[in-house]
Structure 1
Amino acid sequence: MDPRQARTQRSLHSSVVELIERMPLADVSVTDAARAAGVSRDTFYRHAPSVADVLAAALGEELDEAATEFATARGTGRERFETAERALFAHIAHRRGVYLHAMSPRLASPVRVMLLERIEVSLREYLAEHPEVAPEPQGALTGDALYDLYAAYGAAGTVGAIEHWLVGGAEGHPDAVARGVLAVTAPWWWRGA
């Protein structure tokens, strides 16, 4: 991406996040987002098909830092998961207003999909690094298909917990919520890792 496109993208990302902090996603039009970023609607559409997609991209970039923490964390598997969950829920808490404004009653599809994909990729990479932790296949699924299933299941549960936490008023410190999610996470994820 050339520097001008990157600058426009950064402007769109920051403007959309600022708008969604103040009002529900459903109330923010492409015109509003383009105006706030100082670009035309045509330029907006060259970068994304919707305001929700811009929001998902902006939040996804922030979440990439949490994914890096998980990938580079040292320690036992349990310690790595604790680090990642704390980083994830700290991000959600930091952007609580944005995520709440992106709900109706669940997270807007692009935002929800972004969370699912980021978490699935992290879990899938972890399984590739530690295949010994995965339970033995119980049927026709083996190898990558089984690991994809495990990662999808883990990601969906985490995103469901995020949505529940947000709808419930985001009570509780992010670390406490992260510990709660870990308490119901299958312990095989970190055994032997």
Structure 2
Amino acid sequence: MDTRVERTRRALQGALLELARERPLDDITVGDITEHADVHRSSFYQHYADKETLLADALDGAVDAAEAELGDLAEFEQPIEGPPHALTVYLSEIAANAEVYRRVLGDRGSAVVAARVRARIDVLVREGITQAGGGTYAGLPIDVVAAGITGSALGVIGAWLERDPLPPVDVAADWLWRVLLGPSGAWRA
């Protein structure tokens, strides 16, 4: 990708994230974003159809970082004890943008962004199940398993974000990991 294109997109994403930490997405205009990013309004529309797509792209960075950290689950010879580092990386990014996530994933949030976050987590879950062999889930359709795990993950993330003060990332990672493992630690079997 052209470095100018990448630089413009990063500037727009960063500007929107900064503004969204301060006020609701509905109160932020394209003009606010372009002014904050120091780019022309036409540049915004060369890259994005709307601010929700821009926000979804900005939040995708957290999933990208987690994917890079996840690596190949098949390399693990022993069951993973405790939350994988990728989970902590992902939750750290969410914590850094907690107010933004509260707004977009809440009851009056952005359906576009929530769907994108759900879809990205779903992809990670499917890859993890496939790489791990999915033995525990043999005979179950992968889309059903992925939907259940993704929904649980989003539920825990939402409950974590609603707490005031926000519990530390390592606490949230432990909560999420324990919920995903279930009472019997099914992923370790």
> TM-score, length-normalised on structure 2?
0.83
Separation in 2 of the partners of 1:94 and 1:151? 26
Change (3 A) 1:168 1:156: same
Moved more, 12-21 or 169-178: 169-178
Moved more, 73-82 or 48-57: 73-82
Separation in 2 of the partners of 1:188 and 1:22? 41
| Other-structure match for 1:111 | 113
Separation in 1 of the partners of 2:151 and 2:108? 13
Is the CA contact 1:23–1:101 (under 8 Å) kept in the aligned structure 2?
no
For residues 67-106 of structure 1, the aligned pairs below 5 Å read 67-72=67-72, 75=76, 76-79=78-81, 81-105=83-107
Q: C-alpha displacement at 1:95, in angstroms? A: 1.5
| Other-structure match for 1:50 | 50
1:166 equivalenced with 2:161 (yes/no):
yes
| Other-structure match for 1:11 | 11
| Other-structure match for 1:39 | 39
Q: C-alpha displacement at 1:29, in angstroms? A: 1.1
Is the CA contact 2:98–2:161 (under 8 Å) kept in the aligned structure 1?
yes
**Cα distance per residue 1:82-123 (max 9 Å; x no partner):** 323322222211221222343552542233223212221111
| Other-structure match for 1:180 | 175
> Gaps spanning 5+ residues in structure 1: where?
none
> Gaps spanning 5+ residues in structure 2: where?
none
Separation in 2 of the partners of 1:126 and 1:180? 19
Is the CA contact 1:19–1:33 (under 8 Å) kept in the aligned structure 2?
yes
SS at match of 2:80: helix
Separation in 1 of the partners of 2:166 and 2:6? 37
For residues 115-154 of structure 1, the aligned pairs below 5 Å read 115-137=117-139, 146-154=141-149
Q: Whose relative contact order is higher, 1 or 2, with alpha carbons under 8 Å and at least 6 apart? A: 1
> TM-score, length-normalised on structure 1?
0.81
SS at match of 2:166: coil
Is the CA contact 1:70–1:81 (under 8 Å) kept in the aligned structure 2?
no
Separation in 2 of the partners of 1:161 and 1:27? 28
**Cα distance per residue 1:126-182 (max 9 Å; x no partner):** 222222434232xxxx6xxx1122112211211122122212335322211221122
1:20 equivalenced with 2:15 (yes/no):
no
State the identity %: 28
Q: C-alpha displacement at 1:27, in angstroms? A: 0.9
Q: C-alpha displacement at 1:16, in angstroms? A: 0.9
Query: Which runs of structure 1 show a deviation greater than 6 angstroms over 4 or more consecutive aligned residues?
Result: none
Is the CA contact 2:30–2:41 (under 8 Å) kept in the aligned structure 1?
yes
The CA RMSD over aligned residues, in Å, is 2.4
Separation in 2 of the partners of 1:154 and 1:178? 15
Instruction: Count residues with an aligned counterpart.
Output: 184
